[in-house]
Every structure is written in C-alpha cells, then in structure tokens.
Amino acid sequence: MKVVIDNAIPYIKGVLEPYAEVLYRAGNAFSAEDVRDADALIIRTRTRCNRELLDSSRVKLIATATIGFDHIDLEYCRQQGIKVVTAAGCNAAGVLQWVASALALIAKADGWQPQELTLGIVGVGNVGSLVERYAREWGFRILRCDPPRKEREGGDFLPLEEVAAQADIITFHTPLDSTTHHLIDDSLIALMPSTGTIINASRGEVASTEALRKATQRLCIDVWEREPNIDLALLDKAFIATPHIAGYSAQGKANASSIVVGAIAQRFALPLTEWYPEAVKPTLRQPIGWQEMCRSIATHCDLVAQTRILKEHYVDFEALRNNYHYREEYF
C-alpha cells in the first residue's frame, strides 16, 4: 500500500508509516509519476486532482484536509471509481474566530454595537451556521442566504440580492462551484450600502477582483483569486488582508488530519479510525460575550499584525501561509 501526502499537512508524519509506504510532496509538486502506484492521496487545495494527474494511476481514495473540493475533478473521480473525502466542518471554529476578530476591528473603527447592525451571512453550512450562532448571541440582526438549504428546508433564507441590500456587513462562507464563481460582482456590490463591509473567507474566486477593486465598501479578505499571485491594488485597498489562514487553528488542522487519516483507515482496514493528534487539545464550544470577545480576540487572532505582514511581504504569500503559527481556539 502506498500513500502520497502533502508535506504541509500537520501532525500526520509518522502516523501511516507502520502500515504503508508514504511519500511526502509539496502540494503543488505532485506528479503523475508520484501517484502512479499510489493507493491513496492526502492533499490540500494546492494539489489539482484531475485526469492529468490521475489517469495512469491506481488511486482509489483522495482525502483532502480541506472543507473545499474545487481542486478536485469530482466527475472524473466518479467515472474512475475514486472515492473523495473532504474534511467538512474541520475549521469552522477557526474561521468563526477570524470573522469575530474582523468584526471587533470594524466595531472599534466605527464605534457601533452589534444591536445597531444587520449582518448578512451567505452560505450557512458548517462555518456559516457557527458564525450565525455567535453573531445572534452578540446581538446582530441576522439575514441568511443559502439557496441549497432553502430548496431542501424552506425557512427564512433570503435571495442574495435582498441580503446585499439590507446588510451593513456581509460575510461569505460558500463553496466554490459554477453557481458561486464571481458571486461578488459589480451588480451585487451596487446593491450594497456604499459604506458597508464585505468579508470573504470562503474562496478567492467567489469574488471578482476587478469588482472589489472598484468597490467603496470596506474589504476584509482572507482568500484571493490567483493565489499566491494576488492583486496588489486589491491588497493595498483591503482593511484586513491575510494569506488564506482564516481556518488555521491548531484544532482545525488537527480535526482535518484526524478526518483524512480516519478515511484512509476505514478504506484500508487500518487500526486508526479514532486517531487524533496527541499534541492538540480539542476545544469545546462555549459562549462568550461581545465585550469579552472584543477585549480578548487580538491575543488569539491578531488580524492587524497579519495584515501588516502580508502587505509588507506579499511576495512570500505561500510561505506566510505554509509557515503560519496555528492559533489556539478559545471559544
């Protein structure tokens, strides 16, 4: 049995070696030769899993330590009988705390309290639902947009255009697919309050770079089109700018590694289905008041410092992302 693993995935080195031949590669350096005799791949977003990579391989399982799957050709995998497993929900609390830090900075800059504002949440899955839960407790009026959930469940989900028109702050937590590509475009931005705020911690391609460059709204951006070669005019304009690390908590990374190892264990009957990194202590969700969060969040998730670092060292985007010190979740 052979497994090829992205060498930037933490906590995983040494776990599968007693049971398999393991090859570590940089995520953007996986080659057809590397995977030709592999049974499984453990990847991140930097590995494009498509016909070009997989066509001559015997791969039967791709486990991605990410919540997104836009880097995987799902139709090709389906045709070839390759199972794809994602780490859905693994980093929800990490993204929540990044969003909370952004909200705290915006509130400090503008002098408002949550009860005075409407927060729009676009994409109410694992991440968006957690953002909603805490934002409601803090006092925000919440508007939700999630067309797939609206179709399945009904409920009070609104069309995107209504959320955009009414929300003071709108935060995006959607996957990237044909329905969400450039969801944030000129026409949507035109509906938003000119002094509002756009938060994107989903996927870079959910927003049109050109549209964001022309926007009058405040921009809080963690994900970018054409990473790592991000648009410098947009970077300069952004109020908050980080190198795709919103979900980079120790617990989020440990959750992801546990999920992908568990997927390998289940598929190949290895005694690792309950494995979790010993170095990380899981965090239990607990309430935190708005004022307490605003006082404490920068100690755990300092977006001012991260923004300064990215703006000064944008050429090192990939290194900043890969070498980011995983923060501890605390609520």
Q: What is the pLDDT of residues 279-309, one digit of tens each?
A: 999 988 999 999 999 999 999 999 999 999 9
So what's the pLDDT on residue 155?
Answer: 94
Torsion on CA atoms 294, 295, 300, 306, rounded to nearest 10: 70
CATH number given to 2-86: 3.40.50.720
Instruction: State the DSSP code for 100.
Output: H
Active site residue 181: no
> CA 304 to CA 315: how far, in whole Å?
19
- In the numeric block, the tokens 């304009």 are attached to 237
- In the chain, the amino acid numbered 161 is E
So what's the pLDDT on residue 163?
Answer: 98
So what's the pLDDT on residue 297?
Answer: 98
pLDDT in tens, 74-133: 999 999 999 999 999 999 999 999 999 999 999 999 999 999 999 999 999 999 999 999
- Contact yes or no for 208/198 (Cβ under 8 A): no
Active site residue 227: yes
CATH number given to 92-246+290-322: 3.40.50.720
Nearest to 43 by CA among 34, 55, 57, 30: 30
So what's the pLDDT on residue 269?
Answer: 98
pLDDT in tens, 245-269: 999 999 999 999 999 999 999 999 9
> CA 84 to CA 106: how far, in whole Å?
39
User: Of 244, 318, 327, 329, which residue is the catalytic one?
Assistant: 244
**What is the arithmetic mean of pLDDT over 224-245?**
98
pLDDT-derived band of residue 35, with 50, 70 and 90 as boundaries?
A: very high
> CA 250 to CA 279: how far, in whole Å?
9
So what's the pLDDT on residue 151?
Answer: 97
The answer to whether the peptide bond before residue 228 is cis (omega within 30 degrees of 0) is: yes
| Cα end-to-end distance, the chain, whole Å | 40
So what's the pLDDT on residue 238?
Answer: 98
> CA 139 to CA 54: how far, in whole Å?
49
CB atoms within 10 A of CB 95: 25
Active site residue 173: no
Torsion on CA atoms 13, 16, 20, 26, rounded to nearest 10: -30
User: Of 133, 227, 267, 328, which residue is the catalytic one?
Assistant: 227
The pTM (predicted TM-score) of the whole model is 0.92
Instruction: State the DSSP code for 28.
Output: G
So what's the pLDDT on residue 40?
Answer: 98
**What is the arithmetic mean of pLDDT over 3-27?**
97
Q: What residues have CB less than 8 Å from 211, skipping those under 6 apart?
A: 182, 184, 185, 186, 188, 189
pLDDT in tens, 118-150: 999 999 999 999 999 999 999 999 999 999 999
For CATH 3.40.50.720, the residue range(s) in the chain are 2-86, 92-246+290-322
Give percent of the chain above pLDDT 70. 100
So what's the pLDDT on residue 277?
Answer: 98
The pair of structure tokens assigned to 217 is 């709204």
So what's the pLDDT on residue 275?
Answer: 98
Give percent of the chain above pLDDT 90. 99
User: Of 25, 46, 203, 321, which residue is the catalytic one?
Assistant: 203
> CA 67 to CA 90: how far, in whole Å?
7
Nearest to 201 by CA among 165, 162, 154, 252: 252
pLDDT-derived band of residue 273, with 50, 70 and 90 as boundaries?
A: very high
> CA 274 to CA 259: how far, in whole Å?
9
Look over the chain and give the mean of its residue pLDDT values, rounded to a whole number. 97
So what's the pLDDT on residue 300?
Answer: 97
